[in-house]
Structure 1
Amino acid sequence: MDVTSPFLFLGRSPVKTTSLNQTHRDMNAKMVDFGGWDMPLHYGSQLDEHHQVRSDAGMFDVSHMLAVDIKGEVARAFFRRLIANNVDKLTQPGKALYTCMLNPRGGVIDDLIIYFLTESHFRMVVNAGTADKDMAWMLAQRDQLAPGLEIVPRRDLAMIAVQGPNGRAKVWQVIAGAQAATENLKLFQAVTYDKYFIARTGYTGEDGFEIMLPANDAAGFWHALHAAGVAPAGLGARDTLRLEAGMNLYGQDMDETTSPLESGLTWTVDLKSDRDFIGKQALLEMPVKQQLIGLILLERGVLRSHQKVATRYDGDEGTGEITSGGFSPTLNQSIALARLPLSVSPGDEVQVSVRDKMLRAKAVKYPFVRNGKSLV
C-alpha cells in the first residue's frame, strides 16, 4: 500500500497501517487491531518468535509509534519544563534519555525516549496509542512556553526493531559499512548513518538496534533482514519479552491516573535539581503508598492484569492489583508486575485471585530475564 495512504478499511472502521502492512500479510501474519493500527500478532508461533529473539535475532515493525522532531534554539529549555527526567543529562550527540511526560497532577501522559542531535534539534519517540494526545499536549505547552518552536511528526519514517544476541551482527550484514559506524555505540545512544537512524535501544531485554528509515524503503530493508536470518516477530512475542524484561507498558502499568513514583519509574524522575517541570509539585506533595514489584506464580494458572492480590496484611493496605501478567516462555511459569503496598518485599508470599481461586505467588525483584538469562 502507498505509504501516503495511512488507512486500511476493515469493515466500517478505518484502521491505520504501516508501510509494512502488505509485507506482513505476504508473510502470513495474523493481523489484529492494536489501538487502531492493523498490526501483526504473530507469524505462526508466538512462542517460537519469543525464543528466536532470546537466542538469535528477531525483528518487529514498530512504525506505529511516532517519531517527532523538535527544532529550535529553545528546544532544551522546552524539555526542561515538559519532562520529568533531566534533559541536561543529554550532552553528547546521539545520546538518548528515557522519561515520562506528566500532567499537573503527576499522572503519566506518556513514557517516551528523547534523542539529542544538536542544541536546536531533538528527536523523540512516543507511543502509538497516545500519539495524538501527546501532540496536542506538546503543542499546547509550546504555545505557552516556547512560541516558534517546531514540533514535527515524522510519519514519513518507518521504525524496525532488530533484537537478540545476534541482532546487531545481522544488521551489519544488511547495511554495508554500518558496523564501523555503530560497533562502539553504547546502550541508549544513536547515530545517523546514510539513510538510517540507528539506536542501540529496545523493548525486549536483549541487545539490538531500533532503526528509523524512510517509509518507502522499509519493505526492502525488512526482506533483506529476513534473508540474513532475522525472524519476523509480532506483538505477542513483544509483550512476553518486555514483561520478562520488567518494562512498563503504557495503559497497563501506568497512565494519567498513576504516579511514576508508584509505577517503578522513580529512576526516570528528577526531583533533586531546582528545575521545575510539569507535575513536580504534585509528586513532592503526593504520599507514596504503593510500589511496582514482580510476582512469580507458585501454582498452576496464569497471572493476568487486573487480578487482585492479597498480602498478609489486613484491610485496604494489604491489597493490590496485577498491572501486567502472563506466561513467561523463558522461565516456563507465570509472572506478573503488580502494584502492591510498600510493606511487601521480595521473597514475601502473596495470594492472587485467579478465576475465583486464591493462588500462592512470590514477590520478586524484576526484571525476570535479561540477555537470555533468568534473574530470579
Structure 2
Amino acid sequence: MQKTVLNESHRRGGARMVDFGGWEMPLHYGSQIEEHHAVRRDAGMFDVSHMCAVDLDGPDAKAFLRRLIANNVDRLQVAGKALYSAMLNEAGGVIDDLIVYYLDDTRYRLVVNAGTATKDLAWMTDRLDEWQLAATLRQRRDGAEALAMIAVQGPNARHKVWQVLPECRPACADLKPFFAATVGEYFIASTGYTGEDGYEITLPTDQAEHLWEALAAAGVRPCGLGARDTLRLEAGMNLYGQDMDETVSPLDAGLAWTVDLLSPRDFVGKTALLSRLRQGQFLGLVLVDRGVLRAHQKVLTGAGNGEITSGTFSPTMQQSIALARLPLGVAIGDDVLVAIRDKLLAARVVKPCFVRNGTIRV
C-alpha cells in the first residue's frame, strides 16, 4: 500500500490503519464517534495527502478547462476563487468530481480524488494531446515537488490554525467559502468535506509532520476516515464510487448545479446530457424505524423503486440517514419503505443536507 508522509504520525497517535483504495490510512484513533463530535463542536484534522493536487499552466489553460469540465471556469475571475465540478466522459458519466482553483488565466490548481488520480491524469493528458492545446499538467502527490494536505475542520478550526500559523491570519481571516490564499509555501483554502468551517492546507511534504504535531498540541483532534465519512454524509456531500461514477450522469447524482448547459460553451459529455432525460433524483432519507441504512438497500416508493447509495448512523442526529437515487415522482416529505434484510422499515424523504455548521437541517 502507498503511504502518506504522515503515516508514522498516525501510528504514533495510535491510529487503526486500514487499506483505503491502495493507501494505508487511519480509520480512527480510538473513537470514531468522539472524532465526529470534535469536528462538529470544536476542531478536528484529517490527513488528505492521498488526494492529488495537479497544477495546470500555459496560455491555453483556461481553454482546456472550458472543454474538460461540466462547470464553467469563466465564472472564475478573482485569484484564489474555487469551483466544484464534475469531469465527464463522452456518455455523460462522471469520471471524477474535483475542485479547480483559479490563480490567473494561465494557472490553475486542480484537486482530484485519491483513487481516481491515475485515471484522471491519463484522461486529462490525452485530451490535451487530442486538442493540441498549449498547457502542461504537473501532479504534485509524488516526487520532488510533492505536496501534503491537511484539512482542519470545525467551528474553532480557523482560530486554532491561526494559533499555529499566525503569519497566515492576515491573508486567511476573511476568506469566504471556496476561496484560497497563498502564504509563502502554504496554500490555504476555505474548503472542506464536513459541512463545517475550516481550512484545507496544502504545503511541502517536509513541513507536514511539524504542522500536524503543532495543530495537535493546539487542541485540534486527529480524525480518521470513519468520522470523515459520517461528517460528509450528514452534510449531504457525494462520495465518488458510491454516489456517482462513470455510469451515472451528474444530473442523476444531485450535481446538476455543477453543470453549465446554458452557455454556448461545449464540453466533454454535454451532447450526451442534452440528449438524455434525467433518470432519477438524488434525495435524502431519515429512517423512522430502528435500524441502520446502508448502500445498495432497496427503497420502495409510490412512484417505483430506488436505491440507497450511501447510508450511516448519524452521530449528530442520533438517527440513521442516507443518500438515495429515487424515482422522479418522489417528493420531499414522502414516506417510503427501505428493505433491510427481511424487513421493510419506514423512512422519510428529506432534502439531502442533514447537518451544516453544527445545526440539524431536517
Q: 1: distance between equivalents of 2:313 and 2:132?
A: 46
In the alignment, which residue of structure 2 is the partner of 1:64?
A: 50
Letter in 2 for 1:244: E
**Residue number among 223, 226, 244 corresponding to 1:233 in the alignment:** 223
Deviations, residues 54-108 of structure 1 (Å, cap 9, x unaligned)? 0000000000000000000000000000000000000100000000000000000
Q: Report whether the alignment pairs 1:52 with 2:38.
A: yes
Q: Shift of the alpha carbon at 1:176? A: 2.4
Q: Shift of the alpha carbon at 1:144?
A: 1.2
The answer to whether the 8 A contact 1:78-1:146 is kept is no
| Structure 2 CA distance for aligned equivalents of residues 125 and 184 of structure 1 | 23
| Counterpart selection for 2:100 from 105, 108, 114 | 114
Q: Residue 299 of structure 1 aligns with which residue?
A: 289
Distance in 2 between the 1:302 and 1:267 partners? 30
The SS at the match of 1:258 is: coil
Secondary structure of the residue aligned to 1:296 is: strand
Is the Cα contact below 8 Å between 2:59 and 2:134 reproduced in 1?
Answer: no
Matched, 1:281 2:267: no
Q: Deviations over 1:11-49 (max 9, x none)?
A: xxxx00000000000001000000000000000000000
Q: Among residues 70, 74, 78, which one is paired with 2:64 in the alignment?
A: 78
SS in 2 for 1:177: helix
Equivalent in the alignment of 2:253: 263
Which amino acid counterpart does residue 374 of structure 1 have in structure 2?
A: I
Q: Report which stretch shifted further, 59-68 or 145-154.
A: 145-154
Alignment of 1:306-321 (within 5 A): 306-313=296-303, 318-321=304-307
| Aligned equivalent of 2:313 | 327
What's the counterpart of residue 5 of structure 1? none
What is the CA–CA distance in structure 2 between the aligned matches of 1:289 and 1:185, rounded to whole Å? 38
Gaps of 5+ in 1: 1-14
Give how far 1:161 is off.
Answer: 0.2
* Structure 2: distance between partners of 1:147 and 1:365: 41
**1:357 aligned partner:** 343
Conserved in 1, the CA contact under 8 Å of 2:56 and 2:109? yes
Q: What residue in structure 2 maps to residue 199 of structure 1?
A: 189
Structure 1 segments of 4+ aligned residues over 4 angstroms from their partners = none
Instruction: Report the AA paired with residue 239 of structure 1.
Output: D
Q: CA offsets per residue over residues 292-326 of structure 1, 9 Å max, x none?
A: 0000001110000000111023xxxx001000000
Q: Equivalent residue for 1:3? A: none
Q: Does residue 213 of the first structure (1) align with residue 179 of the second (2)?
A: no
2:177 aligned counterpart, secondary structure:
coil
Identical positions, percent: 64
Shift of 1:146: 3.6
Contact 1:63 1:157 in 2 (8 A): yes
Q: Is the 8 A contact 1:114 1:124 kept in 2?
A: yes
TM-score, normalized by length of structure 2? Answer: 0.98
Inter-partner Cα distance in structure 2 for 1:159 and 1:145: 31
Q: Which segment is superposed worse, 122-131 or 178-187?
A: 178-187
- Quote the Cα distance in structure 2 between the aligned partners of 1:202 and 1:147: 32
Cα distance in 2 between the residues matched to 1:27 and 1:103 = 41
C-alpha displacement of 1:122: 0.4
Q: Measure the CA separation in 1 of the matches of 2:81 and 2:183.
A: 15
Counterpart of 1:127 in structure 2 is 113
Name the counterpart of 1:247: 237
1:21 aligned partner: 7
CA contact (8 A) 2:60 2:133 kept: no
TM-score, normalised to structure 1's length? 0.94
Cross-structure match for 1:366: 352
AA of the residue aligned to 1:67: A
Q: Deviations over 1:233-282 (max 9, x none)?
A: 00000000000000000000000000000100000000000000000000
2: CA distance, partners of 1:146 / 1:101: 19
Measured against aligned partners, the alpha-carbon deviations of 1:184-212 in whole angstroms (never above 9, x if no partner) come to 11110001002210000000000000000
Q: Which residue of 1 aligns with 2:165?
A: 175
Distance change >3 Å, CA 95–CA 146, structure 1 → 2: farther
3-state SS in 2 of match to 1:335: strand
Aligned length: 358
2:182 is paired with a residue of what secondary structure?
strand
Displacement of 1:147 after TM fit?
3.9
Partners of 2:150 and 2:302 lie apart in 1 by 45
RMSD: 0.7
Match of residue 262, structure 2, among 269, 272, 289: 272
Aligned to 1:186: 176
Whether the aligned pair in 1 keeps the contact of 2:153 and 2:192 (CA below 8 Å) is: yes
Q: Distance in 1 between matches of 2:352 and 2:273?
A: 24
Q: 2:324 aligns with which of 338, 341, 345?
A: 338
The amino acid that maps onto 2:84 is: Y
Q: Aligned residue for 2:128? A: 142
SS at match of 2:282: strand
Partners of 1:281 and 1:308 in 2: CA distance: 31
